[in-house]
Every structure is written in structure tokens, then in C-alpha cells.
Structure 1
Amino acid sequence: MAIIWPDIGLSADSQAELAKQALNPVAALYSVPIQYNWNQKLGPSGKGYQSVTNLQPVLPFSLNEEWNLISRTILPVIEQHGLVSGGQSDKSGIGDITQSFFFSPKHPTASGWIWGAGPAFLVPTGSDTLLSGEQWGAGPTVVALKQSNGWTRGILANHIWSLENSPPDDKDKINQTFMQPFFSYTTHTYTTYGINTESTYDSQTWEWSVPINLFVTQLFKVAHQPLSLQAGPRYWVDSPKDGAEGWGGRVAFTLLFPK
């Protein structure tokens, strides 16, 4: 098995285009990101920790000559320990799926902006009551970005409301806004340096979750398969009561399937 780094066996133009597509949430590019997140200092004691591995397949569909439909799925696999004493919160399993669909023009606007919009759904697939909101949810989602001269900047956002009239007694009704502004630069060797936040505002509890992620991403190829590998630290600027604090980390591995 040959590993090629960073020349991935494509023409320079094709490599540059693939690097741009890998940073575009609504690119017509089949991909399978696997993202591992580490969080700490959770719970009343501040000694709890949690890992969340997000499986995030992206499937593009061509609707006609002008429009694509991009399916983005997030399935979290969660492991958490020490959130409360006695081990009652020590759980491992899957969380709730977030499923988004973006209707996106195939060509940027005259000023170079790429955008997409559509519905987002929350599916209560959690394997345990501690890992799930136990409610169906839905709302709008939108993304807008611009790419030029190696720079990528934009924002992805959604808002999800609970579809349940009466959520479980021990659960708050879901009413959350998610915002992910992102900014990055890609070098001539297809190394990307970036920063983003993944802020969530809970309108029921009036609390913010705001981790800031710094990351480095490298595009490369194993045999004939293009891949990207990302790693970097995260810092929690704000979090809800008993939420994560301080430093954490992220590693992401993405299979890319260019047409």
C-alpha cells in the first residue's frame, strides 16, 4: 500500500479543486468524515469527561442543470464518564441524528458566493435517555461561503424546534440555534489552517455552548483513495451548567470520492 504525501496523484488543478471542495459543506462531493471530539471538566465536580465520534456521510444529488441536493448526516457515538458521582451517568452509545438537506445552486453567484438552504431534522435515535433529547425536531438550515486565493470563509447555521407537544418530564423542550462561522487558508501543498466556532444557543434555558476550534488539515492519498486528516485543539469559551470547560481536542479523518 503506497502512501503519497502531499501529492495525491491528481493534476495540480484537480488537487486544488478537491482541496476547495473538501472545505465546502455543499460541494457536489461524496465524502465520509469521521470526527473524534474530546471534552473534559464536565459535571458538578468538574471531573467528568466525554468523547463524541461523529459519523458524517455527505451525499450529493443532481436535481437538474441548475440545482444540487446535498444530504448531510451527523450520527454521534458518545462515551461519557464521571459527570456525577456513583457512575449513574457513565454511558456509551449513540446519540440523536441530525439530518440536513441543502438545496444549492450548481454555480456561485456573480460575486462568488456559494450557498444552500433547506430543512434540518433531529431524529431521537439515542440509545439511552442520558444520550438523547427523546424528541423529534425540525427547522431551517442555511450555509453561505466564499472561496478565493486560498481563503475560505463562511457560516453554517440551523434552528431546530421540538415537534413534541409534551416532551419527557426530565427533558427541556428543544429550541436551539446552531451557528458555525468558519475561516481558513489553504497553501500550495494543500495544507489548510483554520478556525471555527460551533455555537449553540438554547432558547429554553438561555444558555450558550461556544467551543472555538483551531485546526490543521492535510489532503493526501493512500493507494488510489484521496483522504484528508485534520487535528487541532478546542477551547470552551462558554458552556451551560455542568458543561465542558477548558481545553479539548479534535481529530477528523475524511474519505473523499471525487467524480
Structure 2
Amino acid sequence: MKFTKRYITIGRLLTAISFLFIQIPASAQEESKGGASAQELADKLANPVASLISVPLQNNLIYGIGPFNGSKYTINVQPVIPFKLSDNLNLITRYILPVVDQRDITGQNTHQFGLSDATVTAFFAPKSEKIIWGFGPAFLVPTATDTFLGTEKFGVGPSVLVMHQGKGLSIGFIANQIWSVAGNERRTDFNQFYTQIFLTHSYKSGASLGITSEITQNWQGNTTLVNLSPNIGAVTKLGDQVVQFSIMPLIPIVGPSESKPDWGLRAVLAFVFPGS
């Protein structure tokens, strides 16, 4: 497999950061800004429709893609901004803007760098004590700066979240189906289903352990991709700023042989604003 020095360096850096966060004393994590405990914040961050402002930076490294053993580094900027519509209803908006650096994917010795397409989701989330749920629209926005990094299509479809959460335990799924409705007629239509199934256990220190499965079904290309990701995380502080850090392998379980990657690594640094 072909590796570039850049990706090896990034991988080592993410691994070093993960060990740094794992070794932070629990006493430094037990109470956070705004009076909420570290475990309470960890539980809120496990809830995709919690009324909490956060700005996750999700770093993804993937190796062994396609016939040329390509590699891809993606940083997803993923702000989550809630709006209170009434005492019993919130609107949770989630944005994903990917910045991609990929090599040897579209051909031997090729390189693309730039923005990929953005995804915007809005969940109407009624307040609930037992089963947490939300629904709303999902949008695909053609923000890609390179032909090979995007679809050149605008898409729309439904999104839904269902989960159960108790103190220290979160289990549920989030899903969307998006169809292209406008854009470059010469490009292939977009028709894709995505779901993420998650189980997370948090601790008083703000540490968390979990497992996530991501399933992407491309109906247009008749391909299915399934990843499995055990993960470890922690809520802590960088100065006065509350953050959550998590790291996980990306283990490909199902995928077409011509595009299924060999393996990957994900590290997430989320800036949290619990007092908002």
C-alpha cells in the first residue's frame, strides 16, 4: 500500500493527541462551564438533537481506496445550532462542510484538494422524557470546488432521529434519504440513504466508550458501504473552553471491492458551549 509522508504525519499526530486526552486526570473533568457536570455534557453530546451549541471538527483518514490504493483526508466542519421554537419544541440545525485532500483515487498520481458538497439538516425535536425523536428536511448543497469532489447537484429529502437516553447510556439511530432535484444534467443523479446507529456509555469523569455503525446505500450506483467504529472519548477543558475529544478506527465491513477502503481513522475535537 502506498502512503504519503503527509498522511503518516497526520496519523501520528492524531494518535499522540488521543493519548494526551486519555491521560487527563478525571478530577479536571468532573465539572464544566455553566454548572453542568462532565457526564451530563457527554450525554448531551451523544444526543444529536440536544439543545446545545457545539462545533465539532471531524478528522477522517482513509487508506487503500480503489484500484490505485488511494488515500483521503477529510475534515468535516460540523456546527450544531439549536433554536427554541416553543417550550415543548426545538429546531436543531446541523451543518456538515467537508474539506478534502485526496490522492490516487481518480487515477495514478492524481491529487485533488478543496471543498466537497455540504449537507444541512434541520430536526424538529419535541421535548420528551423517554423516547427522544426528531424529524425534518435534509439538503445536499453543491459547494464542491473540484469536479471530482462533488456531485454538482442540489438534493433534498427527509431525515429522522430516534433514540433512548438514560444517565450514562445513549442508544439510537439517525438517518436521511436525499434525492437530487436540480443541478448539472450531465452528472449522475444523486439518490442516497444514510444511517448511523450508535451506542454510547459515559462516566462521571466525562469519559465515554461506544460503538457506531454507519451504513450508506447508493441507490443510483447500487452499492452499499458499512463501517464499524468502536470509540473512546472525553469531555475536558482547553483553558476555559469546554471540549470533547474522541478517537476511533473506521473498520470497513461491507463494500464493493473496487471502492472499499482497507482501513481508516477518525478523530473528533468538538468545541462545546454549554452555557448557551
TM-score calculated relative to the size of structure 2:
0.85
What is the Cα deviation at residue 6 of structure 1?
2.3
Q: Which residue of 1 aligns with 2:96?
A: 74
Matched, 1:44 2:64: no
What is the Cα deviation at residue 145 of structure 1?
1.1
Matched, 1:101 2:125: no
What is the Cα deviation at residue 20 of structure 1?
1.1
Greater shift after overlay, 7-16 or 174-183? Answer: 7-16
1:216-237 Cα distance to aligned partner (Å, 9 max, x none): 0100112221110001111111
What is the correspondence of 1:68-217 to structure 2 with a 5 Å cutoff?
Answer: 68-88=90-110, 90-105=111-126, 107-109=127-129, 112-164=130-182, 167-168=185-186, 171-217=187-233
Verify the 8 A CA contact 1:103 1:117 in the aligned structure 2.
yes
State the one-letter code of the partner of 1:255.
Answer: F
User: Structure 2 regions of 5+ residues with no counterpart?
Assistant: 1-23
What is the Cα deviation at residue 15 of structure 1?
2.9
State the one-letter code of the partner of 1:32.
Answer: V
CA 1:104 to 1:216, structure 2 compared with 1: closer, same or farther past 3 Å? Answer: same
What is the correspondence of 1:216-255 to structure 2 with a 5 Å cutoff?
Answer: 216-240=232-256, 242-255=258-271
**Greater fraction helix:** 2
The whole-number CA distance in structure 1 between the counterparts of 2:160 and 2:34 is 32
Q: Match for 2:41 among 18, 24, 31? A: 18
RMSD (Å), alpha carbons: 1.9
The whole-number CA distance in structure 2 between the counterparts of 1:252 and 1:5 is 20
CA 1:9 to 1:161, structure 2 compared with 1: closer, same or farther past 3 Å? Answer: closer
What is the Cα deviation at residue 12 of structure 1?
7.9
Verify the 8 A CA contact 1:75 1:97 in the aligned structure 2.
yes
The whole-number CA distance in structure 1 between the counterparts of 2:108 and 2:212 is 36
What is the Cα deviation at residue 84 of structure 1?
4.5
User: Structure 1 regions of 5+ residues with no counterpart?
Assistant: none
Q: Which residue of 2 aligns with 1:31?
A: 54
How many residue pairs get matched? 250
State the one-letter code of the partner of 2:161.
Answer: V
State the one-letter code of the partner of 1:40.
Answer: Y
